[in-house]
Structures are given as structure tokens and as C-alpha cells.
Amino acid sequence: MAHNNSQNIAVSSFKITSHQKKNLPKGDFEPYITKEKCSDGLKRGILIKGVLRINPKKFTDAFISADYNERDILLEGVSSRNRALPGDVVAVELIPQSLTKVIHENNAEKNTSEILVNETNNVKRGKVVFIIEKKHPRVATGFIMNYRSNKFGFAYMSPVDSRLPRILIPLQQCPPLFLTRPQDFCKTLFVARIIEWEIDMGFAYGELMRSLGEAGNIEAETESIIAANAIDSSPFGEDIIACLPNGDSWSIKPEEFKKRKDLREECIFTIDPATARDLDDAVSCKKIGDDLFEVGVHIADVSFFIEEESKLDIAAKSRATSVYLCQKVIPMLPAVLCERLCSLNPGVDRLAYSVIWNMRSDGTVLTEWFGRSVIRSCVKLSYTHAQQLIETGTDSDLKKEEFPIVEGFSLEKVRDVIHCLFKISQNLRKRRFDSGALRIDQPKLSFNLDSETGLPNGCSVYEYKDSNRLIEEFMLLANMAVGRKIYAAHPDQAILRNHPAPHPIMLQEVQRICSAYSIFFDISDSSSISKSLTNLSQLESDSRMFIEAAVTMLCAKPFQNATYFCTGTVDDESLYRHYALNVPIYTHFTSPIRRYPDILVHRLLTAALDSTFKVKGRPKQLQAIADHCNERKWTAKKASEQSSDVFFAIYVKECGPFEEKGVVVAVLDKSIDVLCIRLGVVKRVYCDKLLLSGHKYEYNILKPKLTLFWKKNEDLPNGNIDEKLENLKKQFEAKWALQEKLANSPIIMEIPDDAIKQELEMFSPVEVILSVDPKFPTRIDVVLKNPFLVYAPELNL
């Protein structure tokens, strides 16, 4: 029985009798210390403050970051994290060190894998003694199951996120049919809230909030993502909409024109994704002398419409960012503002904030101007349109019918402006990278959706074109310029964006791995890393593609997230630096429709240009807003990635299984981690899920090896694709029956004489089969392809 409709469930408080508690799962946690003892322990250095990370591949292991130059602190076992949840800020007490094999895991959220390091290394172990701040929303999505035949008044939820505890749910909160037919709900997703977790309980107590629908259904899975990430997707209330003028009748008042530079006669246009409706940035360029150009970046003046501390401002601050899912956007601001009042649509007058430079074609900036303006975009171009114009050399090559109508200018004029911008952007980019900038690109999937069903019917890797780079360079230039301007004007209130240097221990680990396989990788600074990655892309070897992808992925792991901060709360100016861009000051100014920090920056810029305008908020207050924006930005990114995972799984389910090329990026005793090169995802492949005669692990600190032994008699005769897929289906069915038997086998097995050997080390190229896990419809299952078989089509990206 399918339960597809999301519905609310009445929640109520409940009490636990001693008889019930006696029959519920037991826990072994310690009471928290007092807040006063925690504060004192942190001051004296006895306790360490950190953000809890739990390894999704091994939920018993959790970590917090220690000092910058030290390894993470391991919290081994569920009891050591003492009921704290992922993202919580915790106080950790170190426990006596011991010599052991260390599994050093950093940033498990990024699909990272464990790296085995020297058995004689010391690892710091700790335990949570106090939760300083509960950052996790205490909301989980998952499946409800009966607990011991419902004898003790509870069901329990098994969360989709393995890092969360199981949650006891009072039976009276479950759907009535669950009591008699629990099997009907085995595929139904629910949302529950954790309300308490006692020290002697193995499960948390919770309340059921609502059902979402059947697992694998796009809408149900999307609602699950929204709920689990505490994203506000509710419609904007009438009181919030009332803060804005009418989108149909509003027009710029004559007195506002007098306060602004009138740029409506300039050739200004937007370049965005084809599906974009909230157009918040535009560009312009004109020649004003011999090798002298006036280049402009024009950003929607969102702050003009949002009064500080109004209900609209409070709502935008709370959401902090728009959330981009595969099939929809959850906006930070109401549609009337995003898509009408502020969107820089062609042919209409719009309020903007402009940064205008006089510069040479080589990117040398001579002067810069900041100010409020009025613009009228002449055309909305997609990145594809702009790319065509970049590649079009003559008027005769220009296929005008393929482009939107240009208001007030010819398409040839727009093409010439783009050529000019492109030439300058190339030089700006070269200058940046010559000065030590670094960019690590990871593949991003794009989906074609069926207009009727909403299901993905096509999948491709998003191609980053010259037109994307053109816009990127000028947005970066504007952000850097505005960052310098607001910091000069407000040294204690500026909202900037810093990017810390990568974790040195982890970076050294990457270098050590590369060195073991004779791969030169210089980690001296950002410029050295960038050059090393460029050199890998130029290797003349059959293994270039695999090595480049693997090292790029490994190199991304040590990097920390960029964050917003208020300058008045950071004394050391060296901490303002943006490592990847290799610039001392940077901010976000160019996307105020979808990022709240940009609105703050616009207000700071206004105050820098107009002495009568004052910025509200002391440094600590602004830092609190910055911290909130950092959290919501990270959550939005995670939700976007989870949405992509769901759509990809549904695509594989409908059109797969598929064969993909991969490369080994970690070798463990009974498993390997494989990076699927084109998809950019890392998946763990377990030996006990493969149809092997056996496997053998050879531990070596520098070059561990896992040898797989495949049965030769499993050869598949050549035949048509249906035969091959049928054989694949049988193989997948067989592997589940074999799994339990192989799981209990020793690491070194008795190998049949007819087995065929496959040796796997770091950077070994492999071929994998992608399918959907039969138990979890949105989870991709990856197994190694038997190297002696051919049985699945390649994913067409």
C-alpha cells in the first residue's frame, strides 16, 4: 500500500512508565557538566570547543577539529559523543592517549574516505561533556517500525541519515492502520522531532510530525530534504508582501532619478542560465580611448526595497539564502521582488548599484566608481547565447533567429561588446592565476525533466564555458572592489568573506600519497597547488584522466569552507584573506536577490557613499548574522546536493544500470573507495558485495593493496544487450544471497586455481556498475565490474 500524500499527524506530549522504560533500549551516557564548569574548562584549556562531525560511512566514529596544525580528535563510539548531533558545538574532554591504528577522517560531509596511517601514530581521543549550542535542528526523516510487536506502547523511527539515533515514537501518534498493518508503511517517509534523549536510553524520544509519502517519490524525497535541513519553504505572509510596492504599478519616482547615475542609454545586458528568472547582475563595456575601456557591473538594488528590521528584512535574514533544488527554487525573497521589482529584465527601467572602471584591455584598472544608478537592460542572454557570440567572428556567421530580441541595440553591437569583455576577462583571469589564485572544479550534474511527470529523462555534466568565465571574472572584480571600499569606510562593521588555508596535516597526507606513487605535488602555497594540478592535466599517459581526477578530489578534502565575518570581531587582518582567490579582502556584493550578506554589503556601501546613512548593528551583532548566514549557506548547499542525488538515483532506476569509469582513492582491508570520474562522486565498494572467490589485503603504510579473485567460469558469452542486462540482473540478485556468507569470511581466503586476480592500489583505474539499491530507492549502489565481463551500457552524459 502506497501513502503518497503528505499529511500532518497530531502530536502530543507523553510520559514513560517505569515498566515501559525497563523494556526499552538502554544507553550508557554521562551527565553533562554544568555551564559554569564548561566555561571554566574552556578558559583553562582543559576542554576543547569544536563542531561535531560524524562519519556517514561509519556512524560510530565522530570528530572535532583540534588546533590548526594537529589531527582531529576522535570520538570513538556513540557513547563518546554523548547525545550530541552533527553540527552541534560541543565541549570535549580529552581521554588518555593510546598507541593504535588511526583512521584519520576529515570533513565526512564531503564524501571523503578514511585514510589508514601509521599504526604507531598517537591519536587524540575525547568525549563530549557539554553541548554548547544545539545547531542540529533535531528533526529527522525516516521510516517507522514496530518495536517488539508494539507491546510497550512505542514504535521507532529509523532515520534515513545514519548519523542520527533511532527515535521512539508513541503508538498513539502513528497512523491508526500502523497498529494492525505496519508492513503497509514500510516505504512511507515520515518526519519526526527529537524532544529528549536521556542518559540511560539507547534511543531518543520523539514525536511524529507528518508523513511525506512513499520513498522514491520525487515530491516526498524533496519534502524530506527540506524538513531534514530545516529549510523554510512556507509562502511569504501577507504582512511581508505588504512591505513591498505593487509589482504591476510601481515605477521609479522622478526624485529618485536625481539621486542616481542614468545609464539607460548604455548597452547593458544580462548573461544567466537559460532558466533564470531572478536576474540580479548585468554587464557593460564601451571603448573611450586608445586601449581604454569603461567597464561596468550593475547589480539589482535590492536594499532599496527592504527597510532594515522590517518584517520583510527579518524574513530574508532568517532564510539567509535561496535554496536551489533540481526542480525548483525556494527563494529568500518574495517573487514580486525577485522576479519583477528587482529582476533586471530587458526593456524596463531598473534600480541598480553599479561599479564602473576605466581599464586597459590587459585588465589594468585606472579608476573605479561606485554608485546607485538606473539601467535598462537591452537583452537577456543565456550562457549558451553568450558563448555563441564569443565564437562568432563575422556578421555573416551570426544566426539572428537563434537569439532573443535586443531592445535599442543591434545584435552585432551586443556581440562586439561581448568580444571586448571576453578579451579583458581572459587577461584578468590570467593575472589572477599568475598571482596565485586556485580553482578546484568538481563535476556538477544537470537534469532534463519531463514536463508532465517531472521525472528526469536526461542527465549531463554541466559544462563550464568561456561565457561563464567571462561573468565570473567581472563579478569577482566587483566583489573585491566593494570589499576594499566598505572596509576602508567601516573598519569595524564590514561584512567580508574569508577562506582559510587548507588543513596542513591533511594537505601533507595528500602529498605523501602522491609521492608514494611518484606523482609530484607541491603544496607550498595556493599557486604551487594550482600549478601542480595544471601539470597533472598535461600528463602524457593513459592513466592521466584517472590520476588527475583522483588527485583533484583528494586535494579538495583539506580545504575549509569560506565564511562571512564582521571585521570588528577579528583583530588579525591576515585572517581576512581569501586563500583560493589569493586576495587580502573579498566580499559578496553581486547576488542580493539570493544572498542576505549581499544586502548587508549594499547597505554598507550606501553608508560609505552617503554620510547621512548609518549602518545599524555593533560588530558582535553583525557577526551573529554572519554566523547564521554561514550555517544557512552550508545547509542550502547540502540540500542542493541531496536533491541532485535523488534525481540521479531516479534517473539510474528508470534508465540504468550503467557502467562508469572510476579510480581507486582509498584502499581499506575489506573495501575500496572509488571516485566515479565523470560524476565526481566517491562511493565505497565492499568486497562482501562482489561475487568473488576471495580477497587479500596487504597492509603497507605507503602503498596498501587489495587483491580480488574473480571466478573465471563467470565469463559472459558475447550476445545482445538484453542478454547482458539479464545476466547483470542475475548477478545482482545472486550477490545479496552471497553477501552474508562472504561477510564472515577471513581476509585471506583459500583461492580456487581458476580464479582471476585483480590487484587494486591507490589510483588504480576500475570500471563500476551503477544501480539503485533495492532497499533504498534513492541510494546509488556501486559494485566493481568483473573485469572479464561486458554487461552494461555506458551512462550517456
Q: What is the pLDDT of residues 669-678, one digit of tens each?
A: 999 999 999 9
Which pLDDT score, from 0 to 100, does residue 273 have? 93
Whether the pLDDT of residue 653 is over 60: the answer is yes
When mean pLDDT is compared across 221-225, 382-386, 393-397, 758-762, the lowest value belongs to 393-397
Which pLDDT score, from 0 to 100, does residue 750 have? 57
Q: What is the DSSP letter of 332?
A: S
Q: In what order do the strands lie in the sheet with 681-686?
A: 681-686, 671-676, 658-667, 765-772, 780-784
C-alpha cell at 572: 588579525
Whether the pLDDT of residue 405 is over 90: the answer is no
* Cis peptide bond prior to 657, omega within 30° of 0: yes
The answer for 342, left when phi > 0, alpha when psi is -120 to 50, beta otherwise, is alpha
Mean pLDDT, residues 59-69 taken together: 82
Mean pLDDT, residues 39-47 taken together: 95
Which pLDDT score, from 0 to 100, does residue 392 have? 85
Whether the pLDDT of residue 37 is over 80: the answer is yes
Which pLDDT score, from 0 to 100, does residue 525 have? 93
Whether the pLDDT of residue 111 is over 50: the answer is no
When mean pLDDT is compared across 27-36, 97-106, 227-236, the lowest value belongs to 97-106
In this structure, the number of other CB atoms found within 10 A of the CB of residue 713 comes to: 9
Averaged pLDDT score across all residues of the chain? 88
SS3 301: coil
Cα distance between residue 215 and residue 222, in whole Å: 10
Binding residues for Mg(2+): 272, 281
Which pLDDT score, from 0 to 100, does residue 742 have? 37
Cα distance between residue 456 and residue 385, in whole Å: 24
SS3 399: coil
Confidence of residue 685 (pLDDT cuts 50, 70, 90): very high
Cα–Cα–Cα angle for 492, 493, 498, rounded to 5 degrees: 90
Q: 101 versus 155: which is more confidently predicted? A: 155
Q: Do 21-101+119-133 and 657-728+748-784 show the same overall fold?
A: yes
Q: Which residue has the cell 586476480?
A: 757
Which pLDDT score, from 0 to 100, does residue 20 have? 73
Radius of gyration of the chain (CA): 28
Question: Into which CATH architecture does domain 21-101+119-133 fall?
Answer: Beta Barrel (2.40)
Which pLDDT score, from 0 to 100, does residue 7 have? 54
Binding residues: 272, 281
Euclidean distance between the first and the last CA atom of the chain, given in angstroms as a whole number: 36
C-alpha cell at 82: 554523548
Cα distance between residue 219 and residue 743, in whole Å: 36
Q: Could you tell me if 704 and 697 are in contact, meaning their C-beta atoms sit under 8 angstroms apart?
A: yes
CA distance readout (Å), 698 to 105, 672, 767: 21, 13, 22
Q: 26 versus 142: which is more confidently predicted? A: 142
Which pLDDT score, from 0 to 100, does residue 776 have? 85
Which pLDDT score, from 0 to 100, does residue 796 have? 60
Closest CA relative to residue 372, chosen from 592, 69, 84, 673: 592
Q: Could you tell me if 762 and 513 are in contact, meaning their C-beta atoms sit under 8 angstroms apart?
A: yes
In this structure, the number of other CB atoms found within 10 A of the CB of residue 512 comes to: 14
The pLDDT > 90 percentage for the chain reads 71
Cα distance between residue 642 and residue 225, in whole Å: 7
Q: 642 versus 15: which is more confidently predicted? A: 642
Mean pLDDT, residues 608-631 taken together: 94
Query: What superfamily would CATH give domain 657-728+748-784?
Result: Nucleic acid-binding proteins (2.40.50.140)
Cα distance between residue 576 and residue 450, in whole Å: 46
Mean pLDDT, residues 715-744 taken together: 43
Residue type (1 letter), 358: N
Q: Which residue has the cell 572596509?
A: 487
Give residues with Cβ within 8 angstroms of 335, minimum separation 6. none
Domain 137-214 in CATH 2.40.50.700? The answer is: yes
At 627, give phi and psi (nearest 5°): -60, -45
Which pLDDT score, from 0 to 100, does residue 713 have? 53
Q: What's the predicted TM-score (pTM) here?
A: 0.88
Closest CA relative to residue 476, chosen from 582, 383, 369, 370: 582
Task: Give strand ranges (E) for 360-427.
Answer: 365-376, 380-382
Mean pLDDT, residues 215-240 taken together: 96
Mean pLDDT, residues 47-70 taken together: 87
Closest CA relative to residue 338, chosen from 236, 412, 193: 236
When mean pLDDT is compared across 137-141, 260-264, 275-279, 737-741, the lowest value belongs to 737-741
Mean pLDDT, residues 228-252 taken together: 94
At 519, give phi and psi (nearest 5°): -105, 120
Model confidence over 548-573: pLDDT tens digits?
999 999 999 999 999 999 999 999 99
Which pLDDT score, from 0 to 100, does residue 106 have? 40
Closest CA relative to residue 505, chosen from 104, 50, 88: 104
The pLDDT > 70 percentage for the chain reads 87
Which pLDDT score, from 0 to 100, does residue 542 have? 80
Confidence of residue 112 (pLDDT cuts 50, 70, 90): very low
SS3 3: coil
Q: With residue 319 as reference, give the H or E element that holds it.
A: helix 311-319
Domain boundaries, the chain: 21-101+119-133, 137-214, 238-498+563-644, 504-557, 657-728+748-784
Q: Could you tell me if 228 and 161 are in contact, meaning their C-beta atoms sit under 8 angstroms apart?
A: yes
Whether the pLDDT of residue 148 is over 70: the answer is yes
Which pLDDT score, from 0 to 100, does residue 605 have? 98
Which pLDDT score, from 0 to 100, does residue 184 have? 92
